Structure 1
Amino acid sequence: MFKSSNEPVLASLEQYPQAVALMTQFEIGNTVIFNISVGYLVSVLFWLLVVVAPHSRRRAILRNNLLMHYSDFKRDLAHTMLDAAGDRDSYEKSFELTDFRKFREYFSESERHRWHAALNAIQSDASYLTDVHVEMDLLSDEFRYVLNNIEISDQELIAFIKRLLNYVYRLKHSPTFTGDEVKYLGGFIWEIMASWSTIDGQRDFDLIERMIRRI
């Protein structure tokens, strides 16, 4: 576009031969080339404004919305576990226990009786189990919505989300898990809420939150 323009080369650039050669006007076809260049530039700007910018905003909105729902999921799940463990301040403490460090501390080895009390309550009271299932379903629906409504090129992220969704489905429907559902469900809750990995042990970060931020 510069080489097809009628504007003279800036005097300050004349000491740079390569810059002058780059800016010097073509001998022929200047108007056609200039118009094509301007048209291309306008098209790119139009594409950025009409396609890229709205897509980026939509991605950011869905990512932040999913982060919010994940936070709600952890709070409600913490509330259920605290209530099942017999904690009278379950609602107030549930906000603190969304932090995996706090959750891990509350149900630590020295306080393991709380964890066993919660699992026993879930085993004996179907309402607790229903509450956990509802929270799992709500979070799964949010992940599916994101997968179906934005394009994700990160294959590792896609694989992670699908593994999570598949595992949640199996927990509820596979005979392998439903035969001793509370045991496997407790393991699933501990992995998420305490940021625990059966392979790596204790993590110092929330894996699901980190993956959501990659969307």
Structure 2
Amino acid sequence: MDTNKELELFAKRNVALIVLVSIAVFYLVLDAFLNLKLASTYLKLELILFNLAIAILSSAIFFVFIVYIPERRRQLIILNNLKNVYKDFKCECISLFLSAGKDYFDANIDCELVESLVSPENFKKYFSIKDDGLSDRWILISNNFDYDPYYRKALDEEIVIFLKEIEFLLVKFDFDADEEFRFFKNVYRLLFKYRDAQEDDFKMFFGILWQIFAAWSWIDGYSDEDYFSKRIDSC
């Protein structure tokens, strides 16, 4: 867990609480060190302010340790689980891609190769190779998936598992920004919509997979970072 990031997130989510605590601490320090002597008319006001400052500090401590920390721990468990499921999803799908391409190019399916292709840059380079000088590997395996029911079924099973995890995140996670929510919602919608696609729509579906695995977007083009993992880390 990145402590600096968590502190920044806490400050962002609890600005009002931090302001109130700062005022309370300032008053208590001022009262203690300067030993404020107020006229009898203001003694009741001083007592009220002192009690209010103590109440604010007590409530803040209660909120942080009883409410915020347990809830944030729960959210981190959800995020870490999705990150692990996402990596498993990529590894399983890459294994299927390699298996589907063995009729077209020399694809030695081993753990080391699969792990290396999890990297968007390596994935893009590997599946962009034109072994026959005409079509790249990604086009060849997409054709195989389009016509082979075994690969379609296996890929669909992996996508269903992945979609359930995204759905769980959308329901259970407290997003700070609408942009983050829309990103995961859009990934869910596209995969759900096109996973049963046929013919031309299936090519669009493989285009969506390419965006995920090769970290490509219409706006920014290719990236060295995995967009999905980056979004998880930003939550």
Q: Identity over the aligned pairs, expressed in percent? A: 26
Task: Give the TM-score normalised by the residue count of structure 1.
Answer: 0.81
What is aligned with 2:3?
Answer: none
Task: Give the TM-score normalised by the residue count of structure 2.
Answer: 0.75
| Cα distance between partner residues in 1 of 2:220 and 2:174 | 30
Report the Cα offset of residue 168 of structure 1.
1.2
What is aligned with 1:194?
Answer: 214
Q: Which contiguous aligned blocks of 4+ residues in structure 1 show a shift greater than 4 angstroms?
A: 1-5
Between 1:46-55 and 1:177-186, the stretch displaced more is: 177-186
What is aligned with 2:229?
Answer: 209
What is aligned with 2:138?
Answer: 115
What is aligned with 2:171?
Answer: 148
Question: Superposition pairs for residues 126-145 of structure 1, below 5 Å?
Answer: 126-145=149-168
Select the structure of larger CA radius of gyration: 1
Q: Tell me the SS of whatever aligns to 2:130.
A: helix
| Cα distance between partner residues in 2 of 1:3 and 1:116 | 69
| Cα distance between partner residues in 1 of 2:222 and 2:152 | 26
Correspondence for 2:109 among 90, 104, 121: 90
What is aligned with 1:185?
Answer: 205
Q: Tell me the SS of whatever aligns to 1:151.
A: coil
What is aligned with 1:24?
Answer: 36
Unaligned runs of 5+ in 2: 1-23
1:164-213 per-residue CA deviation (whole Å, 9 max, x = no partner) reads 1111121035xxx4343431222122111111224443222211111111
Is 2:75 the counterpart of 1:75? Answer: no
CA-atom RMSD in angstroms: 2.5
Between 1:98-107 and 1:201-210, the stretch displaced more is: 201-210
Count of residues in correspondence between the two structures: 200
| Cα distance between partner residues in 1 of 2:127 and 2:27 | 71
Between 1:86-95 and 1:187-196, the stretch displaced more is: 86-95
